[in-house]
Amino acid sequence: MVDQCLVMGILNVTPDSFSDGGRWDDTDAAIRRGIALAAEGADIVDVGGESTRPGAERVSAAEEHGRVIPVVTALAREGVTTSVDTMRASTARAAVEAGAVMVNDVSGGQADPDMAATVADLGVEFIAMHWRGHSREMDAHDHYDNVVTEVREELRAQVDALVAAGVAAERIILDPGLGFAKVHESNWPLLAQLEHLTSLGHRVLLGASRKRFLGAVMDHDAGPESRDHATTAVTALAAVAGAWAVRVHDARAAKDAVAVASAWQHARTSAP
Ligand code: PMM
């Protein structure tokens, strides 16, 4: 169904991502994983070569290219729809030239002054996430009087900057950046009051998968991989709340949750 929430499968080609770091850092393993994610139901496979876990240091552009571009090239050749998870304009351009159809920038274009113009020139979809600083410092930026209105206004300002740089407004997808400059409690209002973000008129993507704030409400948290069921619960709720897509590690579970949400909503709007 066209109007269902999309599933973006996470493929981190990194040695150090918080959940799957080191599992797919070999090119062939990463390509196999990307194909498997698509087979499990991922509508888009998001390929990243730089970890953004709290405290992470940057990697060089050459390192990032070397991790991401062969994987995007191979997946595109296999017919898998890919996005590239990068804060670098040069990586974004190389990935789109290799077949990626979307750029996912956790900094929303703030980390690289060339990103907005590059995306405008490439004419691809752009995911602009709410961001207040690089991973090594982001937890220190978790200061909000009202997290929902502040994230909304900061995203709105980011959209204005992107549009001023030539990015088409309808190509901009917004993301509240769960876990980025948001520790535990700051995340829940963004999810529970999603209408304040969807009302900006852009598609909204959510990336809750396996994040710390989920573990904080579970009574058996044993690290990222123990949070998949909690992630799936968020997917169902987010889909009902109007999220355009969810970014997840477990694509099959997300696909099921989206199907449930879709049936639920259909039944709500059908005649009694
Ligand atoms: N989270 C991570 C990485 N990239 N991109 C978007 N758009 N939204 C997110 O919430 C997001 C992201 C965190 O790291 P992971 O790849 O290990 O989940």
Separation of first and last alpha carbons in the chain: 22
Q: What band does 1 get if pLDDT is binned at 50, 70 and 90?
A: very low
The percentage of residues in the chain with a pLDDT greater than 90, rounded to a whole number, is: 86
Mean pLDDT of all residues in 184-189: 96
- Is any ligand 1 atom within 6 A of the Cβ of residue 129? yes
Residue 123 has pLDDT above 60, yes or no: yes
The separation between CA 210 and the C-alpha centre of its own chain, rounded to angstroms, equals 13
Q: Determine the pLDDT at residue 138.
A: 85
Q: Determine the pLDDT at residue 25.
A: 65
Mean pLDDT of all residues in 70-98: 98
Angle at 131 between CA 143 and CA 230, to 5 degrees: 80
Give the residue, out of 18, 129, 139, 246, with the most ligand 1 atoms within 8 A of its beta carbon, to mutate for a pocket test: 129
Strands (DSSP E) contained in the chain are 6-12, 44-48, 82-85, 102-105, 125-129, 172-175, 203-206, 245-248
Query: Which residues are marked as active site?
Result: 211, 247
Q: pTM of the full predicted structure?
A: 0.96
Give the residue, out of 6, 45, 104, with the most ligand 1 atoms within 8 A of its beta carbon, to mutate for a pocket test: 104
Q: Determine the pLDDT at residue 259.
A: 98
Q: Determine the pLDDT at residue 57.
A: 83
Burial 207-243 (b: 16+ CB within 10 A, else e): bbbbbbbbbeeeeeeeebeebbebbbebbbbbbbbeb
Tokens 């900057």 locate to 161
The percentage of residues in the chain with a pLDDT greater than 70, rounded to a whole number, is: 99
